[in-house]
Amino acid sequence: MKRYFQSYQLSPNMLTIIQDLNFKQPTEIQHRVIPSVLRKENVIGQSQTGTGKTHAYLIPLIDQLNLNEQTTQKMIIAPTRELAMQIFHEIKKMQDFSQEEFSSRLVIGGTDKERELQKVQKQPHLIVGTPGRILDFIEEGAINPSSVESVVIDEADLLIDLGLIEEVDQILSRMYVDVQTLVFSATIPKKLQPFLKKYLVNPNYIVIEDSINPSKLEHRLIPRRHRDAAELILEASKLIHPYIALIFVNKKEHADELREALLDKGLEAGVIHGGLKPRERKRMLNDLRSLKYQYIVATDLAARGIDIPGVSHVFNAEFPQDVETYTHRVGRTARAGNEGTAVTFYDEKDMTLIEKLEQTGIEFHNYDIKNGEWAPVKEWNVRQNRLKQENELEKEAWKRVKKRKQVKPGYKKKMKQEKEKIKKELKREKFKKMNKGRRK
């Protein structure tokens, strides 16, 4: 069923902005969040990056601004500078298309604090920033939290991971108790629950199922076998020709090393991680938006919340540490009806997690790259399954061994011989059943 922005109670000015943004119809999260925000409800929105979440709250919040009052009415709190900059970039676009003037300000660390304080002397209608710098400005008296009517906490689970939730707590404690609170998060971890209970009264809980289309996302496993990740990526790229490849590693030091290795091999590679200086971050984000790089090496925390357009392939150069991280990573491709491929390099130590991923319904295709071609290999768990079957036969054989009431010399040896004999019979029975099934 088609949906239209015109069906919501939005102003003509906002409908013009939406048209100029070239949005044809609302995404699922926009359809559910916009009316709720317009009704002044508290919202907990659970969705992945790339579902249209940012505009789900920007459209109604900007439309509700009282432009007759020069006060800070809306505040958006983001865990990282990159995400805050990305949100602010979208706000600036909406300002350019708006027929009514409204003011906004980006408040993040890594900038000249005194100069930024001067800019905020005239209260902007909307502020977007990171928790630490927003709290600084509130304590300096540059931001008046009591005038804020709506506050957005974006990527809340990442705020927990980065240890920033206490600063958010201090910001909200300075606002009126009835402030509209909108929390968005890819996951709702247990550590977030006390915060949600404290600040959200009767929230509208909106869960958007993962936007990945499983039928259009292929998962490939490649055994590392002590080979260089950059070389494997180069060889794979010759076969898959990625439009944009997002490459994940577990540490920022590894991200820099891998990027250098890719550059040495002639691949256009950018990098995004928490160790970049503010100026480097800003330049890199602009480069990502303008599609300057075909390959982007990233850490999990830095990539969260950043919408990188056109990702056709995801490489896990280092195996993720848990199921959730793998899901976040591969969710960057196969979006909006497009196809995508996730290529993961693995070692033997990763097999336990691979098994857990398969239990979630993920079907892996096992390949290697030999002589410039994809070479199918035995499934990663063939040996493991063989050992498992052997153990099951062993147990079953022992169950069938007759237990002696009277113990005589050499009984252990006789029982072991009997067990081996039963085990062979069990194997023959299993083989016959398999062949019978094949003939059918």
Average pLDDT of every residue of the chain: 86
Task: Decide which of 3.30.565.10, 3.90.1150.10, 3.40.50.720, 3.40.50.300 is the CATH code for 5-207.
Answer: 3.40.50.300
Sequence-separated (6 or more) residues with CB below 8 Å from residue 132: 109, 164, 167
Q: For every residue of 181-212, which 3-state class applies, written as one string?
A: EEEEECCCCHHHHHHHHHHCCCCEEEECCCCC
Note whether 63 and 41 are within 8 A (CB): no
Q: For every residue of 238-304, which 3-state class applies, written as one string?
A: HHHCCCCEEEEECCHHHHHHHHHHHHHCCCCEEEECCCCCHHHHHHHHHHHHCCCCCEEEEEHHHHC
Q: Do domains 5-207 and 214-376 have the same CATH topology?
A: yes
As a whole number, mean pLDDT of residues 21-37 equals 94
**Buried (b) or exposed (e) across 285-320, using 16+ Cβ within 10 A?**
beebeeeebbbbbbbbbbbbbbbbeebbbbbbbbbb
Indicate left, alpha or beta for 291 from its phi (over 0: left) and psi (-120 to 50: alpha): left
For residue 93, name the pLDDT band (cuts at 50, 70, 90): very high
* CA angle (324, 327, 328) in 5-degree steps: 90
For residue 210, name the pLDDT band (cuts at 50, 70, 90): low
Q: Where exactly are the structural domains of the chain?
A: 5-207, 214-376, 388-439
- Written as one letter, the residue type at 389 is Q
**pLDDT on residue 438:** 46
Sequence-separated (6 or more) residues with CB below 8 Å from residue 15: 5, 6
More confident residue, 396 or 315: 315
As a whole number, mean pLDDT of residues 394-414 equals 70
Sequence-separated (6 or more) residues with CB below 8 Å from residue 242: 294, 295, 312, 313
Rg over alpha carbons for the chain, rounded to the nearest Å, is 28
For residue 202, name the pLDDT band (cuts at 50, 70, 90): very high
Tell me: the pLDDT tens digits for 298-357?
998 777 767 787 889 999 999 998 888 898 888 888 776 678 899 999 998 998 899 899
In this structure, what token pair is assigned to residue 195? Answer: 């915060």
Q: Is residue 275 pLDDT above 90, yes or no? A: no
Tell me: the pLDDT tens digits for 411-438?
677 777 777 888 777 777 765 665 555 4
> How many whole angstroms separate alpha carbon 69 and alpha carbon 63?
14
Phi then psi for residue 4, to 5 deg, are: -135, 140
What DSSP string runs through 406-422? S--TTHHHHHHHHHHHH
Which candidate, 71, 65, 15, 70, places its Cα nearest to that of 37? 65
Sequence-separated (6 or more) residues with CB below 8 Å from residue 73: 64, 65, 66, 125, 126, 147, 148, 149, 150
Indicate left, alpha or beta for 397 from its phi (over 0: left) and psi (-120 to 50: alpha): alpha
Q: Is residue 280 pLDDT above 90, yes or no? A: no
**pLDDT on residue 307:** 74
Q: Write down the architecture of domain 214-376 according to CATH.
A: 3-Layer(aba) Sandwich (3.40)
In this structure, what token pair is assigned to residue 274? Answer: 């928490």
Which candidate, 154, 135, 159, 155, places its Cα nearest to that of 145? 135
Note whether 54 and 21 are within 8 A (CB): no
Tell me: the pLDDT tens digits for 239-255?
999 999 999 999 999 99
Which residue carries 């505009």 as its tokens? Answer: 55
